[in-house]
Every structure is written in C-alpha cells, then in structure tokens.
Chains A and B, each alone.
Chain A
Amino acid sequence: MSAATQAKLWYAQRISAMVLALCVVVHIVTILYAVRGGLTAAEILGRTRGNAAFAAFYVLFVLSAAIHAPIGLARIAEEWLQWRGRLMNVVLSVFAAALVFTGLSAVWGLYGG
C-alpha cells in the first residue's frame, strides 16, 4: 500500500470520527428522550417507519462506523499482532462488510419493516 493511500486512510478515519462524534451525541440524546416513560414497539416503529430523515441519519452512522472501526483495528493488528499485508486487508474488509450489512438491515427493519 502506498504512503499516499495510507495518508488517505488516515484522513478517512479522522473524518468518519468527526461524523461519528456528532451521530453518537444525537443518538444518545434521542434514546434518552425516547426512553422517558418506557418504550413500546408500537411507539418506536411509529416514529421510525417511513421516516426518511431517520433512515438517512442511521445510514450515515452505520457507514461512518464501517469506515472508522476497520481502519482503527488494522493499526492495532499491525502494531500489537504484527499482521501485515493481504490477509489483514481481507479480514478487515470482511469486518467492514459485516458492519455495513448488519447495520443497514437494522435500519431497514426500523424504517421499512
């Protein structure tokens, strides 16, 4: 991997971190607000079903996490486990794909289901 690519990955990790910081705060505040007075399934789905703003927000959240976390784990694998090269790229791409898949199906469940 070229140094220029590594620099871009670094940038992607930091920008996704900034997005995540915003998303996390919004997410936590919403949850605390929603939990007041207890949760019912009908309430949650009533708020989320067909709500495009809700769906867009969580798609952004999921995609940012799927960029941010694998890049972070890759650094740790290199530094603490001495992983290098192809195998690591494959493992972490699978991990990123798993994040995207599970994350988007959760969003879809709330939005469409």
Chain B
Amino acid sequence: MMLNIETLKVSIWRGGADGQFVSYDVPRLDSQTVLDVVTYVQRSIDPGLSYRFSCRVGMCGSCAMTVNGIARWTCRTHVSKVSVNDALELAPLSNLPIIKDLATDMSTFFDKWAGAKGQFRGERTRHEDFANVLPSSAARKAADAGIECIGCGVCYASCDTVTWRPDYLGPAALNRAWTLVNDERDVVGRERLRAVAGDAGCHACHTHTTCSERCPKGIAPTLGISGLKRVTARAAVRGELD
C-alpha cells in the first residue's frame, strides 16, 4: 500500500453564481479520478458540498464539471491527466445556471433537446414487423456517428456560440436532431428541419470544433450540424420551411 504523503491542492467553486473558490487539501492516491477527489471532499471535509454523479463509469452523463478550465466528465478523468502542479480547480459547467457548488441547472439544456425535436416519432405499432435499416446505408452511418451521446452537456458548456447567443440550441441538441433526420423510420422530418433552421439553430454554428474536441464520447457534433445546415438551407430555398 502507498503512503499518503502527497496531497493535492483542490479549489472548488462554492455557492451560487456569486460564490467563490475554496481550497481543500486532498490526499493523492493512485489511479484517482477527479470524481474521487470531489467525493473525498464531501465525505471527509464538508458534507455540504453539492455535486452530481451516478454511474461512475461514463454512461449516465451526470458528473460533468469544469476541471482546470475545461469541461470534462469527472468519473472517467484521471487526476494524473489533468492536474497542474498537483493542483485542481473545479467549477460547475459554464453556460448553465449554477444551482449550488458544482451542480448546474440542466433544464435549458434538455429543453433545447425538445426544442430541436429530439424525440423519435415513428408510425409503426408493435403489431407490425421491425423496420429493416441497412447498416451500410449512408443515412444509417450518419445516425450511428452521433447516436452514442450520453447528454453530459460537456459540448454545450464548451461552445462559445451558446455563450454569445443564449437561445442557440447548441451542439448536443443539434447532434441529436441530425441522428433523427437520418433515421428513416422517423416521420416528423419537416417539423424538425423547421425547428433547427436559422440563427437559434444550426446556422448559428461557427465550426469552432470545440464541441467535437471536448466530447468524451468522441462524437463530432460539428459535422452533424454541418449536415443540418445544408439540408435545412436547401429546404428553405425550396420553400419547405415557410
């Protein structure tokens, strides 16, 4: 067993939007994740610390925070990968209202998924046969590329266009919309294109690729958004969005 002689200097955002960073000393352990550090502070130093997590294995998408200035999921981020001079700065995600400490209010984020018509609507019932979707078709591949999103909000928190245009739907919702535009079973295509067009939708995106760089699932929302830009612009020219 290793001796805990090393400590990590951790500063954590406390309070609401008008809060401040508070410093804590946390023992440094082998294979320690950032989430382990937060959990240590809550269990051993200040039980009042608020944060979210659930699965601890990168599946639920609830543990994302700003780690040394960059949005990350914390359960799958090793301290060794992100600490600078044995120090960590932990803040709630940007671009979302702070509830308290490390917890943000994600409702706008999810409302925008709904706003982008992020729900699947098919027309078959359980009494009908399965749809046969060819795995090799271009549409299926495009949908597959974005389908693994876990809704963690890392891309949304990293996107400057969201900061500049608070009504912008953002990368996650648009990535979801693109998977559905490419789902041949879905029947509300036209309405969805109408929902994602324009400057509150895909056409606001400036292709910074920050979202794609940061997505922990390796998804590139930038590319799906590019697809939406073309498809909706063509639909607009044909008068299909009026």
Contact = CB atoms under 8 A, between A and B. Distances in A.
6 contacts: A3-B201, A3-B241, A4-B241, A7-B236, A14-B233, A79-B165
A6 B194 CA distance: 11
B197 A7 contact: yes
| Leading 5 A-B pairs by shortest Cβ distance | A3-B198, A6-B198, A7-B236, A79-B164, A4-B241
Contacts, number: 52
What DSSP secondary structure best describes chain A's contact surface? Answer: helix
A8 B237 CA distance: 6
A78 B233 contact: no
Contacts of B235: 7
What DSSP secondary structure best describes chain B's contact surface? Answer: helix
Q: For this complex, into which size category does the number of interface residues on chain B fall?
A: 20 to 34
Interface string A71-83: 0000100111000
A7 B235 CA distance: 9
A1 B197 CA distance: 12
Interface residues of A, number: 15
A27 to B, nearest CB: 26
Contacts of A10: 203, 229, 233
Interface in A1-59: 1-8, 10-11, 14
A102 B165 CA distance: 33
Given A8-B236, A14-B233, 17 more contacts: A1-B199, A3-B197, A3-B199, A3-B236, A3-B241, A4-B194, A6-B197, A6-B198, A6-B199, A7-B198, A7-B236, A7-B241, A11-B234, A11-B237, A79-B161, A79-B164, A79-B165
B128 interface: no
Contacts of B242: 2, 4
Interface string B140-183: 00000000000000000000010011000000000000000000
Contacts of B70: none
B164 A2 contact: no
Contacts of B234: 11
A27 B235 CA distance: 34
Contact of A7 (B164, B165, B203, B206): B203
